[in-house]
Amino acid sequence: MARQESAGDTEKKRPVLAAVTGHFIEVYDAALYGLFVLPIAKAFFPAGNDDRAFLAALIVFGVSFVARPIGGIAVGLLADRIGRQKTLVATILAVGSATAAVGALPTYAQAGTLAPILLFVCRIVQGFASGGETTVIPVYLGEQAEPRRRGLITSLIAVAGNAATVLAALAGATLSARLPPAAFDSWGWRTPFLAAIPLAVLGFHLRRKLSEPLPGRDREGFRFRFRKIRANWKTVAQLSLLGGLGTPVYLLIVYYPSFLIRVSGLPEAQARLMPLILIAGSALLNPVVGVLGDRLGRKVPLLLAAGVSIATAVPAFSIATGGTLAGAIIGGILLALPIPLCLGSIHAVSMELYPRDIRATAGGLASTVGGLVFSGLPPVVIQLLSSTSVGHTLAPALVLMACGSIGLLAALRLPDTRTIRIDQ
């Protein structure tokens, strides 16, 4: 009897583990790129102008977000047409391959302009596949979850992303502390990217055994789905604007460590440790927020996320400029406060508002467009503003407040999605 229960528990956990493994690799890649953006800039772009190389590396990071909407639409269409499981198998292979390839590319000194071109291609492939992952995972988990636990189950996507960030930050801090700067810049930063290979193999093994959560879906063509998406364009636009609440995630991962190194003068090992400390706390709170959304509605935590993001933006970066470890931690905590409030709710909302036959396509379009505007572009905009009279401290705060305000307006108009029948 105990063995039967154990087997049943394993079968219930397999879909969750299989689904979140791909998201883990996706966020792991983004976190690594953000944490190692300085050595990446040195490796793949011409020497002589560090600011220009740093900006170029950030632009290449943002390029993956340009590819995400295309991947979200393409993979979403396939997921709605042929099923969730087949598309999840394909996307995890693409995400893992593109992430690992970054760790094996030649440098600018070795290959000239071919080096940044290859980096660009890797980010395009990674962005396309990540758009598909972001599209299908919440749909798959939401469709196979019990209605009363849908918020909790989909919040585990954010837990996987947080765990990926922690692992990436731990790798960055460990390598920075143990390797001489020359060795770290030469090859040390590459090793964590190569770790995506066994992760992708594990995810592929788990996903190929999954079943469809809602079998027997319709076989309507692409033209039908585009017409139906056009009929639901207001919902797509609203959920795209909710992406403004996710800006603190990528600022903390991609921009904050470099900000601490370049502006505050914090040692690199300590700066790269910040996401490890802060995201670990966020991971513990995501399921709590998921349960809160199941009981009170998704709107409550999302409104709280918007308010906190707007209120803490200026204090966070002002305190962090002091150059002390304590100031970096306090500023980072303020920056991280809205993250679990957003991530613990957003995945459930992203799949509950759409009809079943366009759920993956429309949800992917909204999440990836929102990601492009509110996650991929802010680090580039901040870097451009920082070179003007706005300054290093005020620029990220203004961008964060603007994104939070947009997310607040979108959240105010959300209905209560808990009672929606998702099998229709």
* Per-domain residue ranges of the chain: 12-207+228-412
Question: Does 219 score more than 70 pLDDT?
Answer: no
Question: Does 403 score more than 80 pLDDT?
Answer: yes
- % residues pLDDT > 90 (the chain): 15
Question: Does 16 score more than 80 pLDDT?
Answer: yes
Using one digit for the tens of pLDDT, what is the confidence trace for 81-126?
A: 888 888 888 888 898 898 899 999 998 989 999 999 999 999 999 8
263 neighbors 387 (Cβ within 8 angstroms): no
Band of pLDDT at residue 391, cut at 50, 70 and 90: low
For the segment 214-235, the average pLDDT, to the nearest whole number, is 72
Predicted local distance difference test score (pLDDT) of residue 106: 92
* CATH code for the structural domain at 12-207+228-412: 1.20.1250.20
Question: Does 3 score more than 70 pLDDT?
Answer: no
From 192-206, 210-224, 228-242, 403-417, the region with the lowest mean pLDDT = 210-224
- Of the two residues 390 and 49, the one the predictor is more confident about is 49
For the segment 386-398, the average pLDDT, to the nearest whole number, is 75
Question: Does 202 score more than 90 pLDDT?
Answer: no
Using one digit for the tens of pLDDT, what is the confidence trace for 131-143?
A: 888 888 888 888 8
Predicted local distance difference test score (pLDDT) of residue 95: 87
Own/partner pairs for 281-285, CB < 8 Å, 24+ apart?
281/336, 282/158, 282/162, 282/336, 282/339, 282/340, 282/343, 283/158, 283/159, 283/162, 283/163, 283/166, 283/340, 285/340, 285/344
Band of pLDDT at residue 280, cut at 50, 70 and 90: confident
For the segment 66-85, the average pLDDT, to the nearest whole number, is 83
Band of pLDDT at residue 283, cut at 50, 70 and 90: confident
Predicted local distance difference test score (pLDDT) of residue 215: 59
Band of pLDDT at residue 392, cut at 50, 70 and 90: low
Mean pLDDT, all residues of the chain: 83
Predicted local distance difference test score (pLDDT) of residue 4: 45
Predicted local distance difference test score (pLDDT) of residue 1: 45
The pTM of this model reads 0.73
Predicted local distance difference test score (pLDDT) of residue 8: 47
Band of pLDDT at residue 217, cut at 50, 70 and 90: low
Using one digit for the tens of pLDDT, what is the confidence trace for 307-319?
A: 999 999 999 999 9
